Amino acid sequence: MPAVRPRLLVGLAALATGPAFAADGVSRSPTAILFFLGFVCSTLLITWWAARRTRTTRDFYAAGGNISGLQNGLAIAGDFMSAASFLGVSGLIFGFGFDGLIYAVGGLAGWPLVLFLLSERLKNLGKYTFADAVSLRLAATPIRSLAACGSLVAVVLYLIGQMVGAGKLIEVLFGLDYTIAVVTVGALMIVYVCFGGMIATTWVQIIKAVLLLSGATLVTFLVLRQFNFSFDQLFRAAIEHHPHGIRVMQPGEMVHDPLSIISLGVALAFGTSGLPHILMRFFTVPDAREARRSVFFAAGFIGYFYTLTFVIGFGAIALVAGREGFLDGAGKLLGGDNMAAIHLARAAGGELLLGFMSAVCFATILAVVSGLTLSGASAISHDLYANVWRKEASEREVVTLSRYATIGLGVLAVSLALLFETQNVAYMVLLAFTVGASVNFPLLFLAMYWRNLTTTGAVTGGIMGLVTAIGCIVLGPTVWVEVLGNAAPVVPYKYPAVFAMLASFSGSIVVSLLDRSPRAAQERADFRHQYIRSQTGVGAEGASGH
Amino acid sequence: MQHLYKLIHANPRFHELERKRSRLSWTLAVIVLANAFWYIGATAFYPEAGFARFWGEPVGEGQALTWGIVIGLIQTVLFIGMVVYYISRANGDLDALKDAVIADALRAAGEQK
């Protein structure tokens, strides 16, 4: 008996699941295409403007360090509010009611943790990537290689999930062929990142965040108006229309395996702190103070966004579930549960709102893949090339290489998306979060907080975390049974984050404690200065005035 | 820079800063984690576990709203409130203390020259 229902995966990876959409899809509204063309034109204009301001590596990776706290907060929120979390979480609430909220609470909890424990120290220690902060007192070559590896694995997996989902979504919303859709997303993302670097990527993200928040606010307002702004009436209508009845208001409908759901919670709460495209945004602001303000705005917008998603999910139950015109032949929701929010847009605001929300979802995917690609390119060009392979590389060379890396990653993502078109790739987004929580987060956390961490310990722990995460996923129910077609999983758990994180932390700690080499002694001695810098910002990159 | 770090480390006010900041960060982090895992645990162990059972109860006679949803919304507000509190402390007394520590170190470095 599968302990976890397969649809649970959907929340992290709504778009990666590639559900069997009906051939007649949801809509091919001309308004959607108009809104989308408007978005593409304005973002291309911004890219052209940003390209003229992107000369140095600092411009390319960190937007010159000139982004304000509010702008960065919006961009971080934009990175986090992917189409997967909007459509996926509202789809889960549509399917299970109360339990869909776990993604909202788990995902939101990651933000205060980033603020209290990481953001300030990260900003004071790093330059462009989190690997900068980690490799300050540890040996640069192995540590940067490990961090770049963790970043690239997370980025590529996340990219595949988003791209496959993008292709599927666009196929339904715009009636575009899958291949054309994937190539369009890939080409636009390469243009944004290659020419506009972090400046363009940030602004694309800000515009999209504002569009998504306004669209979701409008849908929520229209839904609540139908219920006279009474939550009681909304919930009553939801209970009446949902097949689970009153149980949509109670926990426990979605999962029946406690260990799995706790592991899922761990991946959600700590994965955020290990996703390279989000960590990278803390270097685009001038100082620790602005880094804090970024988290304030980001957490505020994300909390607001999840509240809207909650109303949208219940609104979809009340207004869409089981209604004529939204169902396929088998009585299921057209396009799958992930389309609940899109259907609700039509139910609440007609074709115009449907077109707008469809375009917003497309824009969302585009913005998120751009951010991912930029952080992947920085791992290759800044961490590996400029700091490991060719330490004498000039700034110009590094920026040029970043552009090639962007094109390379874009081509790779498009090819993999074409290759995996018919596969269920939900596990890839899950794996990206798991790698974030079990490789990048422990490395960053221990390097900043624990004096005794040594290079050997960090590398051993990181590799143990990575191997455990990938091993458990491959041997677990999702890949071993569902993809490879074996009868029973070798590892019975769907969410390995808890094991992978334990492996990573214990490997790092035990090996560091056993490390008696002279280099380890030096690394422990160097902790004090790193610590003072992390607390005060004295000596921080790009800091001035002290 | 090494010299400044030595001066900062010798300053008792720096240790006051690190003590205050770490107490603040860890207290808040533990509250957030406890809340998040209370929620996750309730979803995982409902309805067997006592700490979760009332989550499915309506908030009042004849109400559709349940305690679980109310707690979820309160937690959202609480998390954001804690972010605001942390930032007000960090930008207020902690930053003032940090600036004082740096100023002390710069002054001491100037005197030694």
Tell me, yes or no, if A44 comes closer than 8 A to chain B by beta carbon: no
The mean pLDDT of A259-263, rounded to a whole number, is: 84
Is A92 contained in some domain?
Answer: yes
Q: What is the mean pLDDT of residues A175-186?
A: 89
Whether A39 shows a pLDDT value over 80: the answer reads yes
Choose the weakest-confidence range: A113-117, A226-230, A239-243, A425-429: A425-429
3-state secondary structure of A333: strand
- Can you give the pLDDT at residue A4? 37
Q: Rounded to whole angstroms, how far apart are CA atoms A347 and A323? A: 10
How many other CB atoms are found less than 10 A from the CB of residue A265? 27
Strand partners, A327: A333
- Token pair belonging to B12: 């008792």
| Residues A300-313: tens digit of each pLDDT | 999 999 999 999 99
- Coil, strand or helix at A535: helix
Sign of torsion, CA A393 A394 A397 A398?
positive
For an interface test with B, the pick among A72, A270, A273, A538 (most B C-beta atoms closer than 10 Å) comes out as A538
Give one DSSP letter per residue of A465-483, joined into a string.
Answer: HHHHHHHHHHHSIIIIIII
> In this structure, is residue A540 part of a structural domain?
no
pLDDT score recorded for residue A433: 86
pLDDT at residue A251 above 80?
yes
Distances (CA, A) of A131 to A81, A396, A440: 25, 21, 9
Residue A59 domain flag: yes
Rounded to whole angstroms, the Cα distance separating A360 from A218 reads 13
What is the nearest CA distance from B2 to chain A, expressed in angstroms?
Answer: 7
Distances (CA, A) of A296 to A65, A113, B79: 18, 12, 10
* Mean of all residue pLDDT scores within chain A: 86
Could you tell me if residue A328 is inside a domain? yes
Please report residues of A whose CB lies closer than 8 A to that of B47. 250-252
Residue B96, token pair as written in the block: 């003032």
A517 contact B CB<8A:
no
Kindly tell me if the per-residue pLDDT of B99 is higher than 70: yes
Taking contacts as CB-CB distances below 8 angstroms, the residues of chain B near A269 are 33, 36
List the 244-303 stretch of A: residues with Cβ below 8 A of B.
249-252, 254-255, 257-258, 261-262, 264-265, 269, 289, 292-293, 295-296, 299-300, 303
Chain-centroid distance, C-alpha A316: 24
Residue A78 is predicted with a pLDDT of 92
Among the partner residues A106, A300, A546, nearest to B80 by beta-carbon distance: A300
The total of structural domains in chain A comes to 1
Distance from CA of A251 to the nearest CA of B (A): 5
Q: Among the residues of A227-339, which ranges form H helices? A: 231-241, 258-271, 276-279, 288-319
Higher pLDDT among residues A8 and A306, named by residue: A306
pLDDT tens figures, A445-489: 999 999 999 999 999 999 999 999 989 888 988 788 877 888 888
Nearest to A261 among B18, B44, B55 (CB): B44
Note whether B33 contacts A113, CB cutoff 8 Å.
Answer: yes
Q: Is residue A369 a part of any domain in this protein?
A: yes
Q: Please, is B7 exposed, middle or buried when counting C-beta atoms within 10 Å of its C-beta (0-12, 13-18, 19+)?
A: buried
Check residue B110 and give its pLDDT.
84
Tell me the chain A residues in contact with residue B8 when contact means C-beta distances shorter than 8 Å. Answer: 532, 536, 538
Q: Where are the alpha helices (DSSP H) in A175-287?
A: 178-226, 231-241, 258-271, 276-279
Does A249 score more than 80 pLDDT?
yes
Partners of A333 in the β-ladder: A327
Determine the pLDDT at residue A543.
Answer: 47
* Range of the structural domain that residue A221 is part of: 25-530
Select the residue from B51, B76, B107 to test the A interface by mutation, using most A Cβ atoms within 10 A: B76
How many Cβ contacts (< 8 angstroms) between chains A and B? 164
Give the residue with greater pLDDT, A23 vs A57.
Answer: A57
Strand, helix or coil for residue A542: coil
Mean pLDDT to the nearest integer, A42-67: 88
- The pTM for the full model equals 0.88
Domain positions in chain B are 2-112
Q: What is the pLDDT of residues A190-215, one digit of tens each?
A: 999 999 999 999 999 999 999 999 99
Interatomic CA distance for residues A36 and A51, integer angstroms: 22
Average pLDDT over residues B11-26: 93
Nearest to A299 among B36, B39, B80 (CB): B80
Separation of alpha carbons A413 and A232, rounded Å? 46
- Residue in chain A nearest B34 by alpha carbon: A109
Query: How far, CA to CA in Å, does A434 sit from each of A11, A26, A101, A154, B34?
Result: 14, 33, 20, 8, 21
CA nearest to A535 within chain B:
B18
| Neighbouring C-beta atoms of residue A396, cutoff 10 Å | 11
Q: Is A255 helix (H, G, I), strand (E, B) or coil?
A: strand
Percentage, residues of chain A above pLDDT 70: 93
The CA-CA-CA angle for residues A277, A201, A430, to 5°, reads 30
Q: Is A506 strand, coil or helix?
A: helix
Nearest CA in chain A to B52: A251
Strand partners, A255: A4
Whole-number pLDDT of residue A72: 94
Rounded distance, CA A488 to CA A492, Å?
8
Judged by DSSP in three states, B4 sits in helix
Q: Cis omega (within 30 of 0) on the bond before B47?
A: yes
User: For an interface test with B, which of A76, A96, A114, A115 has the most B Cβ atoms less than 10 Å from its Cβ?
Assistant: A115
Chain A environment of B45 (Cβ under 8 Å): 258
Cβ–Cβ contacts within 10 Å for residue A151, how many? 30
CA distance B23 to chain A (A): 10
Task: Identify whether A546 is part of a domain.
Answer: no
In the predicted model, is pLDDT for residue A10 greater than 60?
no
Q: Could you tell me the CATH number of the domain that includes residue A283?
A: 1.20.1730.10
Which of A538, A387, A512 is CA-nearest to residue A449? A512
Task: Determine the Cα–Cα distance for residues A546 and A539; give it in Å rounded to an integer.
Answer: 8
Tokens of A360: 């917003």
Could you say which residues from 461 to 500 on chain A have a Cβ atom under 8 Å away from some Cβ of chain B? none
The share of chain A scoring above pLDDT 90, in percent, equals: 43
Three-state SS string over A375-409 comes to HHHHHHHHHHHHHHHCCCCCHHHHHHHHHHHHHHH
Non-local CB neighbours of A102 within 8 Å, separated by 6+ positions: A254, A261, A264, A265, A268, B39, B40, B43
Residue of B83, B94, B98 best to disrupt the A interface, most CBs of A under 10 A: B83
pLDDT recorded at residue B79: 94
Three-class secondary structure of residue A2 per DSSP = coil
Nearest CA in chain B to A266: B37
